Each structure stands twice: as C-alpha cells, then as structure tokens.
Structure 1
C-alpha cells in the first residue's frame, strides 16, 4: 500500500514508499509482543461457537449461496501493529475491532448487503534491507497473527492476510501462511507494489505482478479451499495503475476464490473514482481503498456505495 498522493490524472505514477528495514521491523515486533495484549493472547469465544487460533478450526456457516460476494460486502481495517502510520498500527486489536464494526455500520445501513468487518493484517512485510535470508521481507510471528484472528472472530468478522513479497515468490509466501489461509474465515491479499522480483529492492524498485502469477496464486488458494472443504475465500490484489497488474484481462475467477481487484489510489474523490473505473475488470470483484489521513476529503459511505462498478470490498487505512 503506497503513501503518495494521486492528483489530477485518473491514474498517475507516484513516489515509492519507504518500507522499514529488517532490523527496525524486528525491534518494532519485539516491542509489540511485549505489550500486555500480545504477551497473553485473548481467549474469546468466536461468533462460530469455537475457540479461536491459527492452528484450530472454526465452524463457519456458508455465507449465502456459498459465495461471499455479491451477497455481502467486506470492510477491512488495514495495516500492522509495528507500522504506526497504518490504521492497525495506531490502535491495539480491540480498538481496531471497535473501529471496524463502527465503520461497517453506515454501509450496512445505507446499502443493500450485510457488511462483514475484517482486519487486513500485513502478514508478510516488505523490508528495505535484505534480512538474514536475503529476501527483503519479514513474516509476522504466529502469535501476532493468532491475536488478530482471535479478535476478528470476537467481533464477528474475518481476517485477511496481506502479502508484501519483496524478493520472495508469492507462492512461497502463500505456503508459509497456509496454516491461517486454511481457516474458513481467513482471506488473502497480494500487494504487487512490493513484488520486486529476484533483484529488486522494496522502496527503490516499482513492483508489479502478471495475470499469470495472479492465476497461479488463486490456484494455490483454491487447492487450500478444496483440501479443507472450505467455503469460498476472497483473494484481493491491490492496484493503483495499469502497471500494477500486467495483462489483467487474463485473470481468472475460481469457484472457491473470489479474485478482487482493489484500487488504492490516494487523494481527491474525482481522480479516485476515475482510477477505480479505469482499472476495473469485468467478471472480477471490485475493491476500493480509503485513507483516513491522506484522502482530501475522505469520501462518505453514500458516495462510495454509488460507485460504478459496485464495490464489494472496502479497505480503510
């Protein structure tokens, strides 16, 4: 997710954001895990009647006719607790849950669909330095991911694991996150901006992804769904320009994986709306990002619900 401002043009190149170094992120992780809420993960009863946790299994009712969209909308709060500029970095999990539920309410009141609150937790964080494995990314500790899954269930919502691959292959990161993706109430997102290939450096190299790699990723998630006999999942792919996803018209939908292109342009409503329309792909689900501190002004729920094509996934940062 980038931080530069989308200005007058519908789709415009922007400065590359600066990710944390591997060492800085490790220090931030140690601080977060020392906080009381992370030292002792919440013990809650989730909305599905089971105890929560990354290695367990929740009993989840099938949403509608088996698909999350278009029967529902998902509204997610984005970030990571170590990244203080993000919405999840500015508040602890319980406060983030209150925000997600409150933010979802006007969309449920004004729209024609139920709205499911969610966390979009960055589970794989791009780094500006190589790290010990030279892959320019850090995976979140299991304890931290479990904490957000527990809190997502406590609020009656879902968890989305966002992947910023760095130099690591996307499929490797999906496999690393499989213990959570294999849960019935966990979705996945891929951020191509941080997919820099074998020689790129996050923050210096503009990342992207091809339709082929998106299709390989959705096939892997579909295999997880099939193996676990799970209800359908959402797989979000972030984008802010045509270069984010190459050959986008070749992206496939799958029966158990609802591929959703999420527009994350920043700025005034008019260029955001134009960029969203320009990058939508027929046959795929649609997402739209809103930035509390960077959009000028922040669009109101009624205006977002009026977008064409209709928004399925909402992301607040």
Structure 2
C-alpha cells in the first residue's frame, strides 16, 4: 500500500523476494482507502502479505491501519506495519491494527537515541517464519533468533547496544510517567496549532485534508516560485530552526516540520511558524507572520 515514499519503498523490498507484487498507490497527499484494500483482497484471494506505512513522514499523512488490519486479518493474510514515526505520538498499537509485524523506533516520538529497532511480532508470524527454511538463521538479520533474546539465559545474536537500551529505558519511563494519552494529546495540540498558523499566514498543508494530517509532522506545500532548499537554509541561518525536505516525489514540493518527542510542545509550533514565515518573506513572499502566531496561540489557549 503506497501513499508516500516509504510505503512505496516497501514494494521495492518485497519485489526482491517475490515477483507477484500487487500495489494500491494513491497521490502522496492522500491516504489509502480501506474499501480499495477490501476490493483488492476479494479480487486476489492469493494475497498473503500486506504492507502499509502508518505515517508516511515525507508526506505528513496518516493511513487508517486499524481498518486495513481488520480487512487483512479477515482475509487470513499477514500485515506488516511501519509505525516508526507514529508510535508514541498517537494512539496506535499492534493489537489494535492486528499487525503481524509492527516496526517502530526509539528516536522519533519517544525522543530516545537512535540505533535500535523495536518490533512487535504476532504468534502466527513467529510460526510462519520458523516454518520457512529460507528465513535467515544464525544471523543478526534473523528475526527468529531474537524471539527469546530477552531471556537472561539466552544469548543475544550479537553484542547489545547497551547505551541505546539504557536511553530507551529512560525514554519509556518518561512516556509512561506522563501517560500515553497525555503524550498523544501534546503531539496533537502542537500539530493543530502549527496547521492553524500555517493556514492563517496564507500557506497550504500538503495533506489533502486535516483528517489525514499527521499529529507528529506538518508538511507545508511550497508556494510557486519559492526554492524549497533555499527556504530551509534561510530558516536555519536566520533563526537557527531546522526544517526537513520532502523525499523522492515530494522533494522540493514541501517543507516538513517535526513534532516528535521533546519538540512536541506547543511553544515549538510558535518558533517554527516564526522561522517559516520569516524565511518565506525573505524568499519574496508577503506573509502576515503575526496572524499565524495569533491563530496558533488561539488553538493553544483554547486547550488550556
């Protein structure tokens, strides 16, 4: 299921192992429609594995993985979910979307150091991999070898990254002590304030609608005539604020503002709007930055 660069990338990996690849692709500012998934599954009962990216970061859009997962489960297929930049920043859980492989990481919404992969594996997925003689064994690439790696009497497949694990441990303590719902709300409020400010300044969000706009990344459409790379360079040089570009098809077409982990605080939306507006005006636009700030503050104050 391809609604962005990373979802599309799953297909490239899959094609290495199976020539029988079917794809549902939508414009990269839209989300996958579960009805299209249902129709594809009915038309192709031979489908065994479905992959989907929950939050395709280069697009700032969210896919309805719970609805998709229910369809794949009813079909008897296996679901692979990329939740790298959504887990910890919004309500999502491998059980809710019936994922068989659910991949995330510590360095996005949890705000921990990078270097680890966190993965949820269903019982049926373990059984499927163990029954596959071609699945990697005795290798750091072998998921099967990791099944009991948490046990004290089982050796890790290789030397663990102790400092990264300790960092993740602290990040999870912070996440649980604040409360997952409070963390999700903080991410959502920051993104909502950012979107309100962007609209008030006369700019457009990349996502086709607010309903699929991510609470962990806001992607802003680049106005005609603006050099997106120069825009990001100006924001950094003038204000010390770092934005991200698009990727692949979206490169040069949008600017991304992350709301993840420690930057998922409403005050960061104010800083980002100031830098974005200032950089846009330096590029020849005539944006009313104050209107954007006022709109963002109104959203924040309404939540107080």
TM-score (norm 1): 0.30
Higher RCO (CA < 8 A, seq sep 6+): 1
Higher helix share: 2
TM-score (norm 2): 0.31
